[in-house]
Amino acid sequence: MSLLLEGKRAFITGGTRGIGAALCEVFAREGADVVFNYNSRDDLAENTRSRIAAYGRRALSYKISVTDRVGLKKLTRELVETWGGIDILVNNAAINRSNNFATMTDRAWDEVIDTNVNGLFAVTKPIYKQMIRQQKGTILNITSIGAIRALPTAVHYATSKAAVIGFTKCLSREASNFGITVNAIAAGLFDTDLAHTLPDHLLAMHDSWVPQGRLGRPEELAEYAAFMVSERNSYMNGEVVIVDGGAVT
């Protein structure tokens, strides 16, 4: 059987750690050339590039914020010139801040919404336009189970991830006219830096909710994501798939 993503060109946001790094590695293993962005850690970016290259795939990285609209437009033009286009976009990058709503500052709210919602627009718009020109492509957005269920997560984070769901569903209808699919994964708690910002008592509660009694591994989500963006998943569009270990809440 051929690789899931043989010959595909993928752009993944937030590719240096956690789920993003796992996505880069699994996609490369499945045959894709991978480009990713990151904010600060050059050493982690080099590590991700090395893992991609180890599978014989092309690897590129850009040190650029997902909120840099001008820079992302330039990045997309460069990718089209270099690689001829982008077949797959995974909007993975996100931030969270541990805040109660009553004590949340304006700055904290704006920071989370800007990265998680405005960043979604800034990354997707130029890549979506080039997908329209090539009349094909697939977009996968990583949202959160916290956008669907009343979990003890920060209000600004849950709000931003609920926006990702609305973005996914509405854009999927428009995109289908151009041979483009748009879906999302609502992730539960995975063993990432983001999850470990939660208090210990909440992590312990989570383990009691999940039948397997543990956090998910980033590669477990990445394996399913690779199928979702592959041509073997050709009939799914506008869906939000929950990957949370079967948590009972």
Helix axis angle, 119-134 relative to 155-175, nearest 10°?
10
Could you state, in order of their start, the residue ranges of all structural domains in the chain? 9-243
The sign of the torsion formed by the CA atoms of 163, 165, 170, 176 equals positive
Indicate the pTM of the whole model: 0.94
* Catalytic-labelled residue, pool 38, 62, 128, 157: 157
Q: Provide the pLDDT for residue 151.
A: 75
pLDDT, tens digit only, all 249 positions of the chain:
689 999 999 999 999 999 999 999 999 999 999 999 999 899 999 999 999 999 999 999 999 999 999 999 999 999 999 999 999 999 999 998 877 899 999 999 999 999 999 999 999 999 999 999 999 999 999 999 989 987 777 899 999 999 999 999 999 999 999 999 999 999 988 888 776 666 676 666 667 778 888 888 999 999 999 999 999 999 999 999 999 888 765
Q: Provide the pLDDT for residue 196.
A: 64
Q: Provide the pLDDT for residue 203.
A: 67
Q: Provide the pLDDT for residue 7.
A: 95
Phi, psi dihedrals of residue 184, rounded to the nearest 5°: -145, 155
Distance of CA 22 to the CA centre of its chain: 11
In CATH, what number does 9-243 get?
A: 3.40.50.720
Give 3-state DSSP helix, strand, coil % of the chain, rounded to 5.
50, 15, 35
Nearest Cα residue to 42 out of 26, 61, 19: 61
Q: Provide the pLDDT for residue 210.
A: 82
∠ at Cα 159 (86, 222), nearest 5°?
40
Q: Provide the pLDDT for residue 213.
A: 80
Beta bridge partners of residue 61, listed in sequence order:
36
38 is catalytic: no
Q: Provide the pLDDT for residue 212.
A: 82
